[in-house]
Amino acid sequence: MSIQAASAHQPGDVAVRAPPSAHASDFDSFYEEHFAFVWRTVRRLGIAPSAVDDVVQDVFVVVHRRLCDLASPASARAWLFGIVRHVVKDARRTLRRKPAHLGGAARAGDDVDGMADASITGPHESAAKREAVRMLHAILEAMPDERREVFILSELEQMSVPEIAASVGANTNTVYSRLRAARADFEKAVARTRAGDEWRMR
């Protein structure tokens, strides 16, 4: 992007840093490595299937622009989660204002069937799996955001507590206590659902 380079020193201009040529391949490998994580996390943070594409796109557009800010590859997921939660928060705010048929009021648990149909291939397990996913999303949806995110990162992504702490910008003690509370929420919800006789998979 030589246009950019020629005028980067202009005082006060709104220069958008153009990627160096190495950036493109960095971005490609970053995308390949982390796409699934972003996709899953966006879903689990409560974005309806109809809106997941757009939100995941937004995340990677930001990643593309910021990739040069990433300090070390070791912290990539923590850094990335910071972007994901920001974009998701913003999207949820926007989607809530839109009518349901545009992907508005519909939340994660609402049209989970369509999502499960698309992502589950084995017919023999699809009913049980679909039910499990529906429950998982419903339980996550009922959790306070702070607990929800540590629960997702720990129980579903198997991230370490220090890594989670870096991801959510809290210290490890805080993460531990949120995680404890989230697990208690989850156990309670599972027990309640079972008592309500809605889940029979065992």
Partner 1 sequence: MSELGPEAKALLDLARGADDPSGADRARVRSAVAARVAIGAAAGAAVTAATTTSVAGAGAAAGAVAAPLGLGMKILFAIGAAAAVGMGAVTYVDSKPPAPRPSATASQVAPRDPPRAALPSATSAQPPRAPAPSPSQEPEPAPSVSATARVSPSAPAAAPSSSVPSVTREVELLAEAQSAINAGDGARALVLLDEHARRFPSGAMSQEREAARVFALCALGRTGEARAAAERFLSAFPTSPQAARVRASCGAPKF
What are the residues whose beta carbons fall under 8 Å from the beta carbon of 9, sequence distance 6 or more? Answer: none
CB of 146 to partner 1, least distance (A): 18
Single-letter residue type at 109: G
CB 84 within 8 A of CB 38: yes
Give whichever of 127 and 144 is closer to partner 1, judged by the CB atom: 127
Tokens 């009021």 identify what position? 105
CB 92 within 8 A of CB 48: no
Residues binding partner 1 (CB under 8 A): 1-8, 10-19, 31, 35-36, 39-40, 43-44, 53, 56-58, 60-62, 64-65, 68-69, 86-87, 90, 115-116, 118-120, 128-130, 132-133, 135-136, 154-156, 180, 183, 186-187, 190-191, 194, 199, 201-202
CB of 192 to partner 1, least distance (A): 12
Give whichever of 151 and 168 is closer to partner 1, judged by the CB atom: 151
CB 42 within 8 A of CB 88: yes
Give whichever of 144 and 156 is closer to partner 1, judged by the CB atom: 156
Helix ranges (H only) for 9-143 are 21-44, 49-66, 76-96, 112-119, 123-142
Give whichever of 4 and 171 is closer to partner 1, judged by the CB atom: 4
